[in-house]
Amino acid sequence: MRIPGLAVAAGGVGLAAWLVKAGRPIPEAMGGRATGARAARMAESPEWSNGRFHNQQLRFEPSSRSLAGSVKELVAGRQERHPVGDVPLVREPLGSLPEGTHVSWLGHSTVLVQVDGAVVLLDPVWSDRCSPSQQVGPRRLHPVPVALRDLPPVDAVVISHDHYDHLDMDSVKELADLRPETRFVVPLGVGAHLEKWGVAADRIDELDWHEDTKVAGVRLVATPAQHFSGRGLSRDGTLWASWVLEGEHGKVFYSGDTGYFIGFAQIGERYGPFDLALVQVGAYDDGWPTIHMTPEHGVEAALDVGAQVMVPVHWGTFNLAFHPWSEPIERVLAEAERRGVTVVVPRPGERIDVADLPAEPTHWWRSVT
């Protein structure tokens, strides 16, 4: 099977260049390896066989792009994959809110979710590059709108999978130091990375699909996704997941990285409906249809899980695919209008109150497209 082009960039394409440039051993950012009781628990998972995790419902399709073809498109492609000006940010303080459901998109898949007074941070990436090195690899297209130290106290950090654009070593270390009470809730195997970076084992909840834990009164459930994992040349040694965040009064779904699959309808039946769904809509390509959704599939996924509101994520911050920079969001809005789905597109750093939604999109991205 061919490697799916830039999709692997998010999972470790900077490694070879880093090793050539740095001329040193594999960096700490590569993470840890599961051993002992952790490895034994992984081996008992229904998703584990032949030494790796697998998608349950669909085998990977071979990519229609070769690695050489991907590099050629990356270098010579004519798409406008970057904003043409400064992305407008909202830099207002993000204090804790005692009531209601609020989300603040901070760029790519990093989202601060406030449900019933609990604060959950999804896939925190504050580094300039999503790579094992800050010298090479995909670089930010806009700054992070708020510093980690300026976030409200975070009750739980939730990780969808271990690719570099979702699991960032420096951000994890800083969060662990800043907030000694913060818990880290991750899919099976990912805890080995965190422990290597100094996070104590008793602060980590490591879950298989459909397992859950409760933090600050909010139930966090690991649910299926259709993707892959890996921070180097080996793949699928840790699990990937979508997530349900369920409070007494509010409920949010986060897709993580995933291809479109029947699992969304099953999640909707078992855990839905949801007040809001955070759905991956960017970094898609005809060459890897089974691991990243198109915008149209993102809208379909929001409908499947029974979301009242959709907030698109995984777009606008890193150049990880061949489509134009703003294409994902334009396609989402067109499909959402056709299907009758409510979509909110916040600026990075802008907080959305599910009970007080903006009347219509501001189309802020068009000023820099």
**187 within some domain:** yes
Q: Is residue 126 part of a domain?
A: yes
Q: Is residue 202 part of a domain?
A: yes
The pLDDT value recorded for residue 13 is 43
Give CA–CA dist 315/234, Å, rounded. Answer: 26
- Please indicate, yes or no, if residue 7 is contained in any of the structural domains: no
Residue 35 located in a structural domain:
no
Q: Is 74 within a domain?
A: no
Q: How many residues comprise the chain? A: 369
Whether residue 304 is contained in a domain is answered as yes
Contact 245, 252 (CB under 8 A): yes
Query: Is the overall model pTM greater than 0.85, yes or no?
Result: yes
Q: Does residue 71 lie within any of the structural domains?
A: no
Count of structural domains, the chain: 1
Question: Which CATH number goes with the domain that contains 313?
Answer: 3.60.15.10
Q: 276: which residues sit within 8 A by CB, 6+ positions away?
A: 101, 103, 252, 253, 307, 308, 309, 310, 311, 352, 354
Return the pLDDT at 56.
Answer: 81
pLDDT given for residue 287 in this prediction: 84
How confident is the prediction along the chain (369 residues), in pLDDT tens digits per residue? 344 444 444 444 444 444 444 433 458 999 999 999 999 999 999 999 999 999 987 654 555 566 566 656 665 555 688 999 999 999 988 987 878 999 999 999 999 999 999 999 999 999 999 999 888 889 999 999 999 999 999 999 999 999 999 999 999 999 999 989 999 999 999 999 999 999 999 999 999 999 999 999 999 999 999 999 999 888 999 999 999 999 999 999 999 999 999 999 999 999 999 999 999 999 999 888 899 999 999 999 999 999 999 999 999 999 999 999 999 999 999 999 999 999 999 999 999 999 999 988 899 999 999
Domain that holds residue 275: 101-367
Phi-psi label, residue 20: left if phi above 0, alpha if psi -120 to 50, beta otherwise = alpha
